[in-house]
C-alpha cells in the first residue's frame, strides 16, 4: 500500500467514518434522540461505523479528545468542541487557521510535531482519538501505531475521518464534498454539536449550489484543464492529484478538468513529461501555509518563478499565459469547511463571466 508524504506526514489510508443513530440509517446521525446541539444524553447512543464495517457506539459526548493532525482539530474547533481537545499531533502552523480559530488552536497541547508516539497517545487520558488516517509510518524511533486492542485497553475510542480515510479504497472518483459534509455531521453527532454541524454544512452547500448553478452545466470539452502544482512536495518529480483526492472534487466542482483525472488513487508521483503532454490551461501554485501573508506570497512567487525559469515547464500554455492561481494546499487537499471557499475561488478565476 502506497504512502504519501505531506508536510512530514507519511500516511497510509485505510478507514473512515459513517454514522448511524439509535434509529438506524447511514451517512448522518439520527436526530430523533434529542435536540440539536445538546451535549447531554439527548441524541445518544450514536454509532460510528468505519470503512471496514467495525462499529463504535457513544452513549455520551466524549470529554477528552486527541486529534492526529490539524484537519481533525480544525473541524472540532469549528464545531465549538475545541474545549474538549486535550492534544494533537501535526499541529497547524501559527497563523495558518483563520481568525479566532488560530487563537483557540494555540491553547491545545502539542503532543507531537509529527505522529504522536504510541506511549504518549495511549497515556494521554483521552477517551476519543480522531484519526485523519488509519495508519502512520512511525519512523524516527517513535514506536508503533497502537492496535485497536491497545486503544480499547486505554479507554480510547478510535475513529477515522471518512473523507480522507475512505477515499483511496473507494470504487469511484471523488467528485463532490459529500464525504467532507458527512465528517462534519458525524463529529457533530459524536460531540453533541449537531446544530453547529448543520450550520457549517448548510453554509458549504450555499456556496457550492451557487457555483453549480453558474458553471455546473459547462460541457466537459469547454472546461479548462487544471494542474495542481504541489510545490512543497518537491520539484524534481511532481506529485499529481489523482481522482480519489478531495482536491479532485474541488477542481471538478469549480468547472475545471483535473489533468490527472485518469489516475486512480489520492496522489501519485509523475514526470514533468507527463505534465507537458497534458499542457494545462491553468496551474494552481499549491504552497503550504507559512503562517503569514507575506511569507505565503513569497512562496507563491518562488513557485511561479520556478515554473517560468525551468526549461521543462516554461513552455507550458498556462505558464506562457500567466494563468496561475495563488491558493494554498491546505484548503484544497485537506478536507474541511474551507474546501467550499476554494471551489468558489477557482470558479471565479476560470469562469469570470459566470461565477464572478
- At 47-92, the pLDDT tens digits run 998 877 788 999 999 999 999 999 999 999 999 999 999 999 999 9
Handedness of CA 23, 27, 31, 37 (dihedral sign): positive
Q: Are 38 and 190 in contact (CB under 8 A)?
A: no
The pair phi, psi for residue 213, each rounded to 5°, is: -65, -35
CATH code for 217-355? 3.40.50.1980
Q: Are 72 and 269 in contact (CB under 8 A)?
A: no
The pair phi, psi for residue 353, each rounded to 5°, is: -80, -15
Q: How far is CA 266 from the centre of its chain?
A: 12
Topology alike, domains 4-202 and 217-355: yes
- Which positions ≥6 away from 283 have C-beta within 8 Å? 226, 227, 228, 229, 307, 316, 318, 319, 323, 324, 325
| pTM score | 0.85
Strand partners, 191: none
The closest of 201, 210, 214 to 336, measured between CA atoms, is 201
Domain map of the chain by residue range?
Answer: 4-202, 217-355
CATH topology for 4-202 is: Rossmann fold (3.40.50)
C-beta atoms surrounding 33 within 10 Å: 17
- C-alpha distances in angstroms, 245 versus 10, 118, 168, 186? 15, 28, 8, 20
Q: Which three cell numbers stand for residue 190?
A: 459524536
Q: Is 133 exposed, middle or buried (0-12, 13-18, 19+ CB in 10 A)?
A: buried
Half-sphere exposure of 174 (CA within 13 A, CB side): 30
- Which positions ≥6 away from 354 have C-beta within 8 Å? 214, 215, 218, 255, 347
The closest of 166, 210, 202 to 184, measured between CA atoms, is 202
Q: In whole angstroms, what is the distance from residue 84 CA to residue 82 CA?
A: 5
The pair phi, psi for residue 101, each rounded to 5°, is: -60, -35
Q: In whole angstroms, what is the distance from residue 256 CA to residue 346 CA?
A: 8
Strand partners, 20: 47
pLDDT tens-digit profile, the chain (356 residues): 333 333 333 232 323 344 544 333 333 333 333 333 334 445 899 999 887 778 899 999 999 999 999 999 999 999 999 999 999 999 998 888 888 999 999 999 999 999 999 999 999 999 999 998 755 433 344 457 899 999 999 999 999 998 888 777 778 899 999 999 999 999 999 999 999 999 999 999 999 999 999 999 999 999 999 999 999 999 999 999 999 999 999 999 999 999 999 999 999 999 999 999 999 999 999 999 988 899 999 999 999 999 999 999 999 999 999 999 999 999 999 899 999 999 999 999 999 988 76
Half-sphere exposure of 274 (CA within 13 A, CB side): 16
pLDDT in tens, 258-301: 999 999 999 999 999 999 999 999 999 999 998 889 999 999 99
Amino acid at each position: 500500500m502506497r504512502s504519501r508524504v505531506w508536510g512530514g506526514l507519511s500516511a497510509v489510508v485505510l478507514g473512515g467514518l459513517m454514522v448511524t443513530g439509535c434509529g438506524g440509517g447511514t451517512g448522518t446521525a439520527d436526530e430523533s434522540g434529542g435536540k440539536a446541539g445538546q451535549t447531554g444524553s439527548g441524541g445518544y447512543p450514536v454509532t460510528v461505523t468505519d470503512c471496514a464495517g467495525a462499529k463504535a457506539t457513544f452513549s455520551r459526548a466524549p470529554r477528552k479528545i486527541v486529534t492526529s493532525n490539524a484537519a481533525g482539530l480544525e473541524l472540532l474547533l469549528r464545531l465549538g468542541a475545541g474545549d474538549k481537545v486535550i492534544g494533537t499531533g501535526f499541529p497547524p502552523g501559527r497563523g495558518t487557521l483563520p481568525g479566532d480559530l488560530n487563537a483557540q488552536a494555540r491553547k491545545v497541547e502539542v503532543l507531537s510535531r509529527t505522529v504522536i508516539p504510541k506511549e504518549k497517545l495511549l497515556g494521554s487520558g483521552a477517551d476519543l482519538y480522531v484519526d485523519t488516517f488509519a495508519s502512520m509510518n512511525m519512523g524516527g524511533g517513535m514506536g508503533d501505531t497502537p492496535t485497536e486492542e491497545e486503544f480499547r485497553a486505554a479507554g480510547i475510542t478510535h475513529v477515522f475521518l471518512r473523507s480522507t480515510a475512505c477515499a483511496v479504497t473507494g470504487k469511484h472518483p471523488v467528485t463532490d464534498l459529500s464525504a467532507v459534509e458527512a465528517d462534519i455531521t458525524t463529529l457533530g453527532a459524536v460531540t453533541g454539536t449537531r446544530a453547529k454541524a448543520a450550520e457549517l454544512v448548510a453554509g458549504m452547500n450555499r456556496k457550492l449550489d451557487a457555483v453549480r448553478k453558474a458553471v455546473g452545466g459547462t460541457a466537459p470539452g469547454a472546461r479548462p484543464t487544471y494542474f495542481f502544482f504541489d510545490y512543497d512536495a518537491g520539484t524534481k518529480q511532481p506529485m499529481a492529484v489523482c481522482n480519489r483526492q478531495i482536491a479532485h472534487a474541488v477542481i471538478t466542482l469549480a468547472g475545471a478538468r483535473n489533468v490527472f483525472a485518469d489516475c486512480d488513487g489520492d496522489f501519485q508521483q509523475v514526470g514533468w513529461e507527463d505534465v507537458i503532454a497534458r499542457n494545462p490551461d491553468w496551474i494552481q501554485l499549491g504552497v503550504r501555509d507559512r503562517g503569514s501573508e507575506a511569507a505565503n506570497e513569497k512562496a507563491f512567487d518562488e513557485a511561479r518563478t520556478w515554473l517560468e525559469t525551468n526549461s521543462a515547464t516554461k513552455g507550458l500554455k498556462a505558464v506562457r499565459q500567466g494563468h496561475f492561481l495563488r491558493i494554498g494546499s491546505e484548503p484544497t487537499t485537506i478536507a474541511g469547511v474551507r474546501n467550499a471557499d476554494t471551489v468558489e475561488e477557482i470558479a471565479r478565476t476560470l469562469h469570470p463571466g459566470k461565477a464572478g
